[in-house]
Amino acid sequence: MRFGGLVALNDVSLSIDKGAVLAVIGPNGAGKSTLFNVVTGVYRPTSGRVTFNGAEITSRPSYEVVDRGIARTFQSSRLFSDLSVLDNVIIGMHTRTKTGVLDALFRPGASRREMAACVEKAEILLKLGSGGLFEQRYRPAGTLAQADRRRLEIARALASQPKLLLLDEPSVGMDDTETDALVADIVRLRAENPELSVILIEHDMRVVEAFPQHVTCIDYGSKIAEGDFAAVRADPRVQEAYLGKAVADA
Ligand SMILES: Nc1ncnc2c1ncn2[C@@H]1O[C@H](COP(=O)(O)OP(=O)(O)OP(=O)(O)O)[C@@H](O)[C@H]1O
């Protein structure tokens, strides 16, 4: 992925199996969010391919990518702040609902029934995670605490019933207790959906350590290491690039 003269991603090749968690680490500006933007059709890559479940999805529009089963959260909140917590989750279901504006006008019964089903599903999702989102479901999303906003982003992404969930620094703005709860949420989510795959961009090594099997490190747009957490952490290029000399000396 090039932006003019800047190569934001250079020959980065990644794959993830069904049900696996892949953690992508790397310093600021390494190209991690760009990777998500390429996978989800926000950016059209200059070259290269994105395939999902055997089908090529390179540069497909984002709504189609969601429809195929890839959902994401963003590093900076993309919630509808004036809408309620509940409505934000319901909006995440739009690729899975059938009735539209015309149905609302001409088949109000069907439309109402579908909406009631959506509310029920959204409430279940809000009850799943930590942080009491369900109790706050009628509050405008913009009034939530930072950690709850991150949790709501995840609930909204899950509302589209993804097969692959992309989490962009989900622990940003969370304290240690909240981060532990986030890890527990992801662990529980995977236990309940063993086929769900997760790609996690993270700066917090405590989160990465909790999902240690597959870790990839990107630096200046290139993949510099991959393997399990212990191997990647021990790689001198990773220590140099990302973890810092303090860790190398530890
Ligand atoms: N739309 C864009 N136009 C121009 N340059 C961009 C664009 N998006 C990203 N970049 C550049 O691409 C590089 C990679 O950015 P990216 O946001 O992917 O990094 P990152 O690894 O996610 O960093 P961080 O951890 O700080 O979020 C940066 O130099 C960034 O300035």
Q: Please give the domain boundaries of the chain with CATH numbers for all domains.
A: 2-76+83-205+218-249 (3.40.50.300)
Collect all residues with Cβ–Cβ distance below 8 Å to 159 and sequence separation of at least 6: 89, 90, 91, 92, 93, 96, 121, 122, 125
Predicted local confidence at residue 92, as pLDDT: 84
Predicted local confidence at residue 129, as pLDDT: 81
User: Taking a C-beta distance cutoff of 8 angstroms, is the pair 51, 57 a contact?
Assistant: yes
The pocket around ligand 1, CB under 6 angstroms, is made up of 3, 6, 8, 26, 28-34, 75
Supply φ then ψ for residue 159, to 5 degrees.
-60, -25
How large is the C-alpha radius of gyration of the chain? Answer: 19
Ligand 1 centre to CA of 32 (Å) is: 8
How far is Cα 128 from Cα 186, in angstroms, rounded to an integer? 11
Predicted local confidence at residue 154, as pLDDT: 94
Read off the tokens for 82.
Answer: 């004036």
How far is Cα 52 from Cα 147, in angstroms, rounded to an integer? 30
How far is Cα 220 from Cα 126, in angstroms, rounded to an integer? 37
Measured in whole angstroms, the distance separating CA 63 from the mean position of its chain's CA atoms is 15
Widest distance between CA atoms in the chain: 69
ipTM of this model?
A: 0.93
Predicted local confidence at residue 117, as pLDDT: 82
Predicted local confidence at residue 244, as pLDDT: 61
> Which residue has the CA at smallest separation from atom 1 of ligand 1?
3
Supply φ then ψ for residue 225, to 5 degrees.
-160, 150
> Which residue has the CA at smallest separation from atom 24 of ligand 1?
28
> Which residue has the CA at smallest separation from atom 26 of ligand 1?
28
Residue 107 has a CB neighbour count (10 Å cut-off) of: 14
Collect all residues with Cβ–Cβ distance below 8 Å to 235 and sequence separation of at least 6: 217, 224, 225, 227
Ligand 1 centre to CA of 108 (Å) is: 45
Ligand 1 centre to CA of 4 (Å) is: 13
Predicted local confidence at residue 107, as pLDDT: 67
Predicted local confidence at residue 114, as pLDDT: 72
Residue 200 has a CB neighbour count (10 Å cut-off) of: 23
Per-residue pLDDT tens listing for the chain (250 residues): 999 999 999 999 999 999 999 999 999 899 999 999 999 999 999 999 999 999 999 999 998 999 999 999 988 778 899 999 999 999 888 766 666 666 666 666 766 777 888 889 999 999 988 889 999 999 999 999 999 999 999 999 999 999 999 999 999 989 999 999 999 999 999 999 999 999 999 989 999 999 999 999 999 999 999 999 999 999 999 988 875 644 545 4
Q: What is the model's pTM? A: 0.89
Ligand 1 centre to CA of 8 (Å) is: 7
Q: What angle do CA 25, 29, 30 make, to 5 degrees?
A: 45
Predicted local confidence at residue 55, as pLDDT: 95
How far is Cα 206 from Cα 181, in angstroms, rounded to an integer? 12
> Which residue has the CA at smallest separation from atom 31 of ligand 1?
29
> Side by side, which strands form the sheet with 214-219?
70-72, 164-168, 197-201, 21-25, 214-219, 222-227
